[in-house]
Structure formats: structure tokens, C-alpha cells
Amino acid sequence: MPFDLASLGFGILFAALFAGLPLATAATAVPAAVLSAPAGRHDLVRRGVVVVGLFTSFCGALIMGLGAWLARADTRYGALESLGFLLLSLLGAGLLMGGLGPLPSWLLELADRAAERLPPPFRLAARDLAHRRIPAVAAITLAMLASAAGIAVTVIATGETTQARAAYQPQARPGALLVESGSPFREGFSPEEAGAVRAAIERELPGVPIVEVEEVPEPDRYLHATAEAAELPDEMVYWPQAIGDEKLLRYLTGDQSTPYDEGTAVVIVSGDVRADAVELSYEISADDESTRTKTIPAAVARPATPHMATIFVPSKIVRDLGYPLQPAELIVDPTLHRVTEQERERLDRRLDDDLARTYVERGFQASTRWLPIAAAALLLALGSALAPGFGQAANARQARVLRRTGSGSGAAFRWFCAGRAGLSALLGTVLGAVAGCLAGMLLLWPLTASSSWDDPPRVPFETPWAAVVAVVAGLPLLAAALGALLARERPPVPPARR
């Protein structure tokens, strides 16, 4: 119980620091927007409030920039360092958003002045928002916060996808079924487990040959194959050697006609390489740390894919050195049978999770878990922009102008509602796009900071400018269309004179 309470307390503290505090800071934009709104349409926004807000946003951007600068190096950072950089950047993002609160009221003031030359429905829409200053700025600020969150998530997800694609290491050939041990505490299969897994594969995929990769079950016993003439790539699936029979050799080369000799190693490498021999460094037993070497004849072959480059050593050679072997992986060669996802799922149901883990190599698959979050944020922005776009005009004078413009029909009123919703969405989306792009691009640095020695260097981040432009252009148009479609009232027609 104490451990559970401690874990719960740590989780609450972590959520409060990394989610609650930045969100609460960003949410201050709404009360700041309401407080900055003047009481009447003709009253001016206090410039001091706008300046203080812009200064706060500038400080937030500087803090985010500091967090990005601290996490810029492609070196390994400790866990506390990485979390500190991230917390600093998140607080900066909250300040950036909170400081933008007074801007919608000021922009409505500018829009009211600039709308004088527009057609009457759109001019009246700008004036109507200025009349409804407090609810309008609250709605625009919510649209700004939501669109900023959606765009920031999109920018971050795109950048992290770029890094993940560059760091991706395939575990097998494309289309190959790979079955590994399901236990995290041991590698490989015992003979009984390997027999059970093989039987399950044969029942699900009858007649399909099964490739077996073998390994030395004694992890402390040294075995290393080298070929002086061959330069093997760093990104290899099987390092430093692959042990097996002719099925494994032909899986690695992708060529069923590759010659096999149980007394000859094969250097599988791209390029023109001549290797007549392979040197095996080995130990007589795990208790004897003295290393001996043996030179065996070798041939050269090309790998099916660059990641399949390795030195293939027949099982008989390793056993003759006194090493026991056990199955490490079972593979279905995609040259002979390309396993579908449905077949993998059926096989997975036959196998216990503790016994085996199944995997089909499909190449890099970009995560889509961020899409519902971004979509929900943009829908919230759309709904916020539509909030002040319902109902009649703010005063009777505007209603009379609408009646004269539309000759008593509802078309002018629909254009009026469309302009009102579209302008709200435009102001909120433009502010949100600026803040969201800046926040997303700066938060990417602490989010992609290296935390292990195996992490590769960063590659240049990709920014989804096309998606940002589509949101900035599409959301106001969609809001305008919905504002016109959902217009619930028509301006009343005066009674006819008798």
C-alpha cells in the first residue's frame, strides 16, 4: 500500500507540474481577454494591457527558446535534465498563450474600423462583434487557445515522426514473420518451447518452411566472427554473426539458389568484396576467459536488404567448437510466403503471451495517436468561433439595416451570420497558428532530447506548413459556412402599412 500511495502521489505531482501548471497559465488568457474588453463599442482598449500581454508572451517565447537551446545538443541528457528542459519550455508555452489574451479585443477594435468599406452584411458583422465585445473576445480567445493546441500537436507529431523514421531499425526483412520469446527476462526458446511454437506455425501456415536463428545460451561465453576484407554496416539486425542452416542463409540473401556448405561461412555484404576466410574468436568454456581463434573458409553473398548484412556461420561449425545452441527466433521467409496481418493475429491467438511474441516487418509505421487530439482541439476552436454567431443582430439599428439590405429576406441575415462566425474564427485561428507553430517548433527540442547512448543524432525537423495553411484558411471558411447554415432567426419584417 505505501508503494501504491507513493506512486499515486508522484503521478499527481507529475501531472500537476507538466500538464496542470502550463494549462492553468495558458488559461489565464480568457480572464485577461474579458478584463481587457471595454464596456462599449466606441470605447478603446487600454493599450497598457495589450503591451503587458505582449511582453508576457515575449517572455514566454524567450523561456521556450532557452529550453530549446539547453536541449539542442545531440548528447545524452540525464532524466532529470530532460524533464527540467521540458518543464521550462511548457511553462514558457503557457506564458506565451496567456499573454495573448488582450489581443482579440484590440483586433476587434481594428476590424471594426477596417470594415467600413465592406458590403453591409460583413460590415455589420464586424460591428456586431464589437458590440458583443466581452462574449466575442472570450469566444475568440478560446478559439485561439484550441487552434494553437491543435497546431502545436501537429507540428510536434510531424517533427517526432521525422526523428522516429530516421531512427527506425527493421527487425527483419519486409513481410517476414518473426517469432521471438515473449518473456522479458530471457532470450531464445528452450527446445520444448521452440517445438510448441513451430507446431503452432505449422498448424496456422501448413507447408510453409520455417527459418530458425540459433544463439549460444551462455551469455558470458564469448563468440565473435570477423572478416578483415569486409566492412559491415553499423545498422545490422544480426551482429556480429548469424548462426543457422541453409534456410537462414537464403533468408538473409533473399536468393533460394545461394550455395550452402556446412563447413563454410558466408560474408553477406553489399559491394564488391573478396573474403576467402572468416576468423572465429571463441572460448573453450565460460570459466576459461582465454580466447582462441579459428580460421574457416568463407564465401561472399549479397544481402536481401542492407540491414541483413552479417557474417553467416553454419550451426555445425559452432557446435564443433563445443558451444551448445538454442533457437533464438523463428522466421517465415517472405520469399516463400508473405504473411498477412490476419494470419499473424490468428497465430498470436494460438500462442501464449509469455511463450512468444509475433511480429510482421512492415517498415516504418508513423503513429496516428495524435490525430484525435489535434482534431478535438480544432473542433473546439470551430465551436468557440461559432459561439457568438447565433441570434439576431446586437441592436435594433443593425437589424433595420439588414432588413433594408435584404429586402426583408433571410439571405442578408445568413451572410451576416456567416461573416460574424468567419471573422471570429479568422482572428482566433491566425493568433493560434502563430502561437502554435512557435510553441511546437520550440517544444520539439526538449521532447527529442537524447536520453540513451543508442539514440541517433537529430535530423532536420519537418514543419507541416501545408497543414497549418489549410487550418488557417479552412477553419474560418468552415465556420462561415456553418454560421450561415445554422442561422436560426431572420430579422423581423415590419408590418405592411394600411
CA distances from 266 to 190, 261, 319, 422, 459 (A): 27, 9, 17, 68, 35
Task: Give the mean model confidence (pLDDT) for residues 3-27.
Answer: 68
pLDDT of residue 394: 46
**Residues 160-173, buried b or exposed e (16+ Cβ, 10 A)?**
bbbbeeeeeebebb
pLDDT of residue 230: 80
Q: Which residue has the cell 526483412?
A: 173
Q: Name the residue with higher pLDDT: 214 or 19.
A: 214
User: How would residue 12 be classed by pLDDT, with cut points 50, 70 and 90?
Assistant: low
Q: Which residue has the cell 533464438?
A: 328
Q: Has residue 376 got a pLDDT over 50? A: yes
pLDDT of residue 415: 78
Say if residues 76 and 451 touch (Cβ distance below 8 Å): yes
Q: Has residue 492 got a pLDDT over 50? A: no
**Least confident among 275-289, 314-328, 366-380:** 275-289
**Least confident among 64-73, 229-238, 340-349, 395-404:** 395-404
Q: Which three cell numbers stand for residue 91?
A: 511553462
pLDDT of residue 76: 75
User: How would residue 275 be classed by pLDDT, with cut points 50, 70 and 90?
Assistant: confident
Q: Has residue 233 got a pLDDT over 70? A: yes
Task: Give the mean model confidence (pLDDT) for residues 277-285.
Answer: 87
The closest alpha carbon to 152, from 425, 412, 433, 420, belongs to 433
String of DSSP letters for 434-461: HHHHHHHHHHHHHHT---STTPPPP-PP
Q: Which three cell numbers stand for residue 452?
A: 540513451
The closest alpha carbon to 443, from 158, 84, 86, belongs to 86
pLDDT of residue 397: 52
Q: What single-letter DSSP state applies at residue 390? A: S
Task: Give the mean model confidence (pLDDT) for residues 309-320.
Answer: 93
User: How would residue 43 be classed by pLDDT, with cut points 50, 70 and 90?
Assistant: low
Average pLDDT, the chain: 84
Q: Has residue 2 got a pLDDT over 70? A: no
The closest alpha carbon to 108, from 42, 51, 27, belongs to 42
pLDDT of residue 187: 79
Task: Give the mean model confidence (pLDDT) for residues 67-80.
Answer: 82
Say if residues 129 and 37 touch (Cβ distance below 8 Å): no
The closest alpha carbon to 125, from 106, 107, 140, 111, belongs to 111
pLDDT of residue 120: 65
pLDDT of residue 121: 66
Q: Name the residue with higher pLDDT: 390 or 449.
A: 449
Q: Name the residue with higher pLDDT: 9 or 160.
A: 160
Q: Which residue has the cell 447565433?
A: 390
Task: Give the mean model confidence (pLDDT) for residues 311-336.
Answer: 92
User: How would residue 252 be classed by pLDDT, with cut points 50, 70 and 90?
Assistant: very high
* CB within 8 Å of 439: residues ≥ 6 apart: 64, 93, 96, 97, 148, 152, 155
Q: Name the residue with higher pLDDT: 436 or 30.
A: 436
pLDDT of residue 404: 54
Q: Which amino acid is at 409?
A: S
Q: Has residue 185 got a pLDDT over 80? A: no
Percentage above 90 pLDDT, the chain: 43
String of DSSP letters for 161-223: HHHHHHH---SSSTT-EEEEES-TT--S--HHHHHHHHHHHHHHSTT---EEEEE-S-TTS-E
CA distances from 475 to 103, 130, 379 (A): 19, 21, 9
Percentage above 70 pLDDT, the chain: 86
What are the backbone dihedrals phi and psi of residue 451, each rounded to the nearest 5 degrees, phi first? -120, 5
* Separation between Cα atoms, residue 410 and residue 94, nearest integer Å: 43
CB atoms inside a 10 Å sphere around CB 369: 7
**Least confident among 123-132, 159-168, 238-247:** 123-132
Q: Has residue 438 got a pLDDT over 90? A: yes
String of DSSP letters for 246-289: HHHHHHHHT-TT----TT-EEEE-SSS----EEEEEEESSTT--
Q: Has residue 246 got a pLDDT over 90? A: yes
Say if residues 95 and 439 touch (Cβ distance below 8 Å): no
Strands 310-314 and 242-244: parallel
Torsion over CA: 192, 193, 194, 196 (sign): positive
Q: pLDDT for 98-126, tens place per residue?
A: 999 888 888 888 877 776 776 666 777 77
